[in-house]
Structure 1
Amino acid sequence: MTSPFDDIRLYRARSALLKITPDEQGRFEFELACQYTRFGLNQLQVGDLIAVENYSVSEDEHNRTYSVLTLTQVLPIHFAAEGLGAYPGHVFESMRSIKEDWENQKDNPLQATTTISCKSVSTGWQFTFNDLLDELPSLEEERSLPMVGAEIRPLSRDMVDAIINYQMDNLPESHLIHKKFETINVKLDNRALLTTHFGIFGFTGVGKSNFVSSLVDSIIPSDHREADQLEIRDQLDRAANPVNIVIIDPNDEYLGLFIDKFVYEPDSLLYIHVGVDSLPQSIVANLGQGDEPTTDNVNLLHRQMHLPLNLRENYDIQDFIRFGVRNALTRTSLALPVKDLSTWLRNELRNQTPSNTGAAGREALLEIETAWTGSVENLPITPENLQIAIDLENEFSSPVRAPIQRIQPERNRPTVQGVVDRTVRALERYRDHLLNVPPNAILSFNEIIHELNSSDRSRIIIITGKQDFVLKQFCSILGNELYESRRIGATGTDIEPYTVLLLDEADLFIPSDVDDDVTKQIKETCITIARRGRKYNLGIGISTQRASMLDTQVMGNLHTYFVSKLPRRYDRDKIAEAFGIGEEELSPTFTFRPGHWLIISHDATGLKGVPIPTTAYNANERIIRAANEYNRDNGT
């Protein structure tokens, strides 16, 4: 008989709901207990779904209505261990007895002094079970409180699947499997995920970048994926818009994590370096020429690229990776950080200004900025125009020099002169680099926006750069230009690709405290997309280990959270507050290992607003499988 319950997990132990406690936000916490067995303790885990009969009434005597709860705490309790303030000799003697009680009750509760104490919160669902029917019951919104005194009934694998993936039958599988029931794929509504914004939070070493790679691969799958899943996705793609995911990658680590896609479908990717000095000169010199990448350049980028250790040290797959690097070089371009020289010059002056510059110095610098940028207003960034800006500073009666001579007292002049000198050197460096850049190597903002508004295919665009400052400038303009193009209907079609700006190391871009103009600009861009981007199919994704440092306006607009281990309480508090859940609901993450993730979503999951413990597919394993397939096909 098909049953929603898996009562055997508690092995004949009695259990009950003991207490209902309301919190300050109008939610309820439920305290439960069951008789201890060693097996039962291992079967009840934080994050598990259980059923408790509620106060609903039915005219059919065979009907029982159950509330669905999720466990937030599971602890073994021994009555004798509750008072440890006694004489130490007695305490240690008691401990020996207590240990025997734990060990002797393997699958049968024998001691009244031992219990399993649990806490839980509601999922908002209930179901009515009729013991005469051989089918899983249907879910409905909870309309009654669980009954104090009613027993705990763990839910079966099939019932958990029905709850977690409620109304998700027609969606393809995601990159997540249920942590307890490993045959359950936790499906995601990608449209909701992409347009209502998401965040990925975890401490160093939990695998955030690996998770991003697997998430993106599940949304834009490789062509050599299993046929049944590709068929489902093809059906959805024909009825839906293409997807563009723009990964802002300050640490330049995603080339390696998408190397399999560069092997099998390079035309769906772009690899963009912001700034003319972000790549080695030998690679830059060959960009945009239409020629095959040289072996030396392939080997150079292969040596320099960031690869996870188990990929770097797997010598059997290095030919596969080099082939991916070769294809990546054909899809590599440079981008200038801003659209015109006056903007570049203004940002560089402000970046070079020390924070302790006095009022007189700042007044002079503002006058210099106005004169210098005005002389190159609306000029594109070219070696010739950079030279015009340099020459202006060198003129004897230069409006750049004159304000410095008027600064009083004179001892403040070197600070301003230093700013100007450093800016001139930056202009000279940029001029020299640009002289060695092939014209076709540079992608303009208009060309990138055109790619993102094109509906012919889905795309992954990796954007990285040598300097965070430069990357912020670029992303601010790109985000604003993309938003404005969608707002005024520049796509010229009803089909607007779902496009997500995914910020890795998001605390660099959207910190709560901002102390420079460039960061303020990118932060304002992100806030605009988070608040208004949905109606234009634009979304924000963020990944960071420092949730507590992020701007609350962006955090409050994230509808889906992927959370791994966060040892700092203030990070957990920031997430719990932003999503509107109790901090105790993040407790499953305390024991998480790399690859374990708690997903909480208002829109993208079948079970909404309730944490679901999952395990993510390993991107490294995906790449190794693709490499082995490549080696078999090529006889290597």
Structure 2
Amino acid sequence: MIPSWLIDLEDKFNAKVRESKMVTRSSRSREGEISVSNMQVILEIKFDLEVLDRLHNPAFVIIERKTSNNIKYLVYEVTAPKPIHYQMLGMDVSMPTVLRKEYLDIINDSWEESNETWIDIVTVPTNYELIIDDNIRFERTNLIPLIGASAYLLSSKAVEKFLCIDDGIAIGDLIGFNIPLKVDISNMIRYHTGIFGFTGVGKSNLTSSLLRNAIKTVPDLHTIIFDISGEYIIHLLDMLDKAVICSTERFEDPDTLLTSQTIPETLEDKLGYDTFKRKIQAFFDHSTPYEINLTSSFDINIQSILDMLKHELAEKGSIQAKLALQEFNQLISNGIDARKDLRELSDDEKQDVISLLERFYESLHIKSGLRNQLDVLFEYINSKPREQANDNLITPEGIARMINFNAPRLTIAYIPEPDQAREVVSRFINSLLRLRKRSNARDKVLVILDEAQEFIPDRRSIKDYSEQSNLAVEGLLRQGRKYRVHCWLSTQRLAHLNVNALQQLHSYFISTMPRSYDRFVIADAFSLSYDILDKTTELSTGEWLFVSYKATKQKNVPAFIKAYNNEEILLNSI
């Protein structure tokens, strides 16, 4: 009797290891050459159409491995079946056409009858072994199979135990196994996630579906999406009643907002344009989109004054600066918020700050350059905050304060101009990290960067803010976990991205990427088999290769999934 963790295909799957080899491939681009190497094990099995059909879908096999103590079972992933007919080996394009046609006819007519037909099955290691106790379990291994060893096909039940978290969240169905892939979505958030695919493969659809699961599963999670393409207001239409919308564009009515967004034809056909208009109107009935103001500089607060005084003390050893520092530190000890913009202090707090600054001002030499700075500072303190002048204006720093203190569950920042988007993102991230470092906030923040190639290109410039956004995103990916700030990236190009940022991701979804160099970058950055990545060119819209170090039961095992369609979820919610 065949165990439930194997598939026998009516005793037709009797494969043997024929070859084991290391394969190296390379690709060249403007940055130079990338070479990737991976182990390949070739299995051979008698030709059978049922077996061949099954192997065209994703599959896992176990290969027997004799050791000095017992037999172990190594888990390998199937990448490609190749049917072979013996007479194919003797055929050549240099043969006469008539003879070549005769060969082809013989081959075509004898696939199932001939004893000289077989299937080569290309497999790659998962670096795990199956252990049979009372049940089955999996452990890491570095063993390689021996030539001639037997191989068996793993069942859906075994694959579920291999990949799925017991109490995890289903994000899609495993292709070829008809079971949901359940993952630890908290770890997908905590350890950062990337979504990579060409235009039209469904990146925003997948991101929206995952975001719904994240908000539903993690009660203390607050999310912000930086949207360049104008897709997420529509994808998350049913969640706008509890959302905040920000944009560098001015939206005074529902029509101007709706016109700026991309509506999938499939959704518009099913819902109708009036439904979208009604939902946007419902948002305007209780809220108004914030207009992002980029003309304001960074907030000036007491910390800014402390920095100025410390610089004066370090440069000139100023006794006046030292005394002023002591007085401002005492002010902070009395309860004044050093992070708060000076314009937003209460009248009493402003008076305390002005009094200290005036004493410092009077102690300075009449020709001191600091007097000019303090004159500007006095004027700034007495000015009206920009955001108070117009309730719908908000700076990137203001968005960071809102996320950190008021904590909406969902914020969508629509910024269609890439240069402006980079400026907003860099200022927002830097401000948010500063706030989190100085506060005891324990809730989580998830920052989602759509079209990430705009924010972390490998070629940087201060002029277009790509230098600033690169540094900010790198800082978020490296340090964010300490402050419970996390990041998801979505992009269509990897070839010219900041590799230092990519290497901070622990989970990633990969769909069709037609440029081979993009696939080489992924293989090199994430230590993936190129044979597996090459299969992504065959994926349909909504199908993904998912790999994770933290979110699946085993580390770094590629799994092909059909993700749940966000449009269907949206239709059911409206």
TM-score tier, shorter chain, comes to 0.7 to 0.9
Q: 1:56 to 1:461 in 2, by over 3 A?
A: farther
1:204 to 199, 218, 226: 199
2:211 to 207, 216, 224: 216
Q: 1:325 to 1:115 in 2, by over 3 A?
A: same
Question: Are 2:519 and 2:534, in contact at CA under 8 Å, matched by a contact in 1?
Answer: no
Distance 1:574 1:13 in 2: 35
Residue 513 (structure 1) aligns with: 459
In the TM superposition, what whole-angstrom CA distance separates every residue of 1:393-435 from its partner, at most 9, and x where no partner exists?
Answer: xxxxxxxxxxxxxxxxxxxxxxxxxxxxxxxxxxxxxxxxx99
Distance 1:580 1:178 in 2: 22
- The DSSP-based 3-state class of the residue aligned with 1:9 is coil
Question: Are 1:255 and 1:462, in contact at CA under 8 Å, matched by a contact in 2?
Answer: yes
1:279 correspondence with 2:227: no
Distance 1:178 1:589 in 2: 14
Residue 43 (structure 1) aligns with: 54
Question: Are 2:400 and 2:429, in contact at CA under 8 Å, matched by a contact in 1?
Answer: no
Residue 363 (structure 1) aligns with: none
Q: 1:162 to 1:91 in 2, by over 3 A?
A: same
Give the CA deviation at 1:126.
Answer: 1.3
1:112 correspondence with 2:123: no
Q: 1:575 to 1:328 in 2, by over 3 A?
A: farther
Distance 2:417 2:37 in 1: 47
- The DSSP-based 3-state class of the residue aligned with 2:150 is coil
Distance 1:467 1:594 in 2: 27
- The DSSP-based 3-state class of the residue aligned with 1:548 is coil
Give the CA deviation at 1:549.
Answer: 1.5
In the TM superposition, what whole-angstrom CA distance separates every residue of 1:232-257 from its partner, at most 9, and x where no partner exists?
Answer: x4xx64xxxx2222211111111000
Residue 128 (structure 1) aligns with: 131
Which sections of structure 2, spanning at least 5 residues, go unmatched? 25-35, 301-340, 344-384
Residue 336 (structure 1) aligns with: 293
Q: 1:613 to 1:23 in 2, by over 3 A?
A: same
Q: TM (normalized to structure 1)?
A: 0.70
1:181 correspondence with 2:170: no
Residue 613 (structure 1) aligns with: 560
Residue 392 (structure 2) aligns with: 441
Distance 2:211 2:298 in 1: 35
In the TM superposition, what whole-angstrom CA distance separates every residue of 1:164-189 from its partner, at most 9, and x where no partner exists?
Answer: 11xx2122x2322111122x221222
Q: 1:10 to 1:451 in 2, by over 3 A?
A: farther
Aligned residues: 477
Give the CA deviation at 1:84.
Answer: 2.0
In the TM superposition, what whole-angstrom CA distance separates every residue of 1:510-531 from its partner, at most 9, and x where no partner exists?
Answer: 1111234311101110111112
Q: What does residue range 160-175 of structure 1 map to in structure 2 within 5 Å?
A: 160-165=159-164, 168-171=165-168, 173-175=169-171
Give the CA deviation at 1:474.
Answer: 1.1
Question: Are 2:124 and 2:529, in contact at CA under 8 Å, matched by a contact in 1?
Answer: no
Q: 1:191 to 1:342 in 2, by over 3 A?
A: closer
In the TM superposition, what whole-angstrom CA distance separates every residue of 1:145-179 from its partner, at most 9, and x where no partner exists?
Answer: 333212221111110100011xx2122x2322111
Give the CA deviation at 1:586.
Answer: 0.6
Give the CA deviation at 1:503.
Answer: 1.3
Q: 1:147 to 1:598 in 2, by over 3 A?
A: same
2:536 to 575, 589, 598: 589
Q: Which moved more, 1:536-545 or 1:31-40?
A: 536-545
Residue 74 (structure 1) aligns with: 81
In the TM superposition, what whole-angstrom CA distance separates every residue of 1:284-319 from its partner, at most 9, and x where no partner exists?
Answer: xxxxxxxxxxxxx3344334432110112225x555
Q: 1:338 to 1:196 in 2, by over 3 A?
A: farther
1:84 correspondence with 2:130: no
Residue 436 (structure 2) aligns with: 486
Give the CA deviation at 1:453.
Answer: 2.5
Question: Are 1:55 and 1:145, in contact at CA under 8 Å, matched by a contact in 2?
Answer: no
Distance 2:283 2:261 in 1: 11
Distance 2:83 2:494 in 1: 32
Q: 1:248 to 1:54 in 2, by over 3 A?
A: same
Q: What does residue range 403-552 of structure 1 map to in structure 2 within 5 Å?
A: 439-454=390-405, 459-488=409-438, 490=439, 492-493=440-441, 495-497=442-444, 499-517=445-463, 518-552=465-499
Greater strand share, structure number: 2
Distance 2:524 2:298 in 1: 43
Question: Are 1:28 and 1:121, in contact at CA under 8 Å, matched by a contact in 2?
Answer: yes
Residue 361 (structure 1) aligns with: none
Amino acid at match of 1:588: K
Question: Are 2:18 and 2:147, in contact at CA under 8 Å, matched by a contact in 1?
Answer: yes
Which sections of structure 1, spanning at least 5 residues, go unmatched? 222-232, 284-296, 344-377, 381-433, 628-636
Question: Are 1:273 and 1:463, in contact at CA under 8 Å, matched by a contact in 2?
Answer: yes
Distance 1:480 1:445 in 2: 10
Distance 1:564 1:467 in 2: 26
Amino acid at match of 1:181: F
Question: Are 1:177 and 1:614, in contact at CA under 8 Å, matched by a contact in 2?
Answer: yes
- The DSSP-based 3-state class of the residue aligned with 1:81 is helix
Give RMSD over aligned pairs: 2.9
1:97 to 102, 106, 111: 106
Amino acid at match of 1:253: E
Distance 2:82 2:10 in 1: 14
Q: 1:562 to 1:331 in 2, by over 3 A?
A: farther
- The DSSP-based 3-state class of the residue aligned with 1:461 is strand
Question: Are 2:183 and 2:551, in contact at CA under 8 Å, matched by a contact in 1?
Answer: yes
Question: Are 1:56 and 1:144, in contact at CA under 8 Å, matched by a contact in 2?
Answer: no
Q: TM (normalized to structure 2)?
A: 0.77
